[in-house]
Chains A and B, each alone.
Chain A
Amino acid sequence: DTEVTQTPKHLVMGMTNKKSLKCEQHMGHRAMYWYKQKAKKPPELMFVYSYEKLSINESVPSRFSPECPNSSLLNLHLHALQPEDSALYLCASSQPTSGRAKREQYFGPGTRLTVT
């Protein structure tokens, strides 16, 4: 099973709201990722968790706060977002192997976020 699930599918929030995006995988992967994707553009990396610890933060504004409660779950907490934060938010997972192993990354279906 190579499934990554994300909830909700769609989210509309005001600039003063607080909301959370959720991601789950049961492939035993120990690396999980958040990406942001604007229309007609490739995904942009936001955060990487490896073994439940934050490994990479691509200078993301603090209004985005990631959390990895356990090896299967990844959350993205949202607060005081701006309209330009509207995008498709993608979760992904992979196994952090070494050398030239495949390191295949699997994506969830995404959450379409609209900030009004």
Chain B
Amino acid sequence: TQLLEQSPQFLSIQEGENLTVYCNSSSVFSSLQWYRQEPGEGPVLLVTVVTGGEVKKLKRLTFQFGDARKDSSLHITAAQPGDTGLYLCAGVSGTYKYIFGTGTRLKVLA
């Protein structure tokens, strides 16, 4: 069974702080996606990484795919209250299977 473990599970930080969320697996994925989800809403796709070692930036968010395509990280610089939400990674396995991580709940305090 493929699993994606995210850490930390919960994070409460002050506005302006930096943070990193990790997404780890023992399985290799063809690509990996990061989503942010707000309560009662659907996940919103932030980024897709495909190549091992790939780094992508989206404003203050930096995403990295591990060299072996088994893990990924999300780094947020100078977090803002608008970054609050549930962050989910999802590894793509096969044509239709998206293996979701356990989720990281982030709260940024003003």
Chain A residues within CB distance 8 Å of chain B: 2, 4, 6, 31, 33, 40-43, 45, 48, 50, 55-56, 88, 90, 92, 94, 96-110, 112
Contact = CB atoms under 8 A, between A and B. Distances in A.
A109 B41 contact: yes
A103 B30 contact: yes
Interface of B: 30-31, 33, 35, 40-45, 48, 50, 86, 88, 90, 92, 95-98, 100-103, 105
B44 A107 contact: yes
A105 B42 contact: no
A88 B37 CA distance: 12
A48 B100 contact: no
A100 B103 contact: no
A105 B40 contact: no
Given A56-B96, A96-B96, A109-B41, A103 B102 contact: no
Contact of B101 (A42, A88, A110): A42
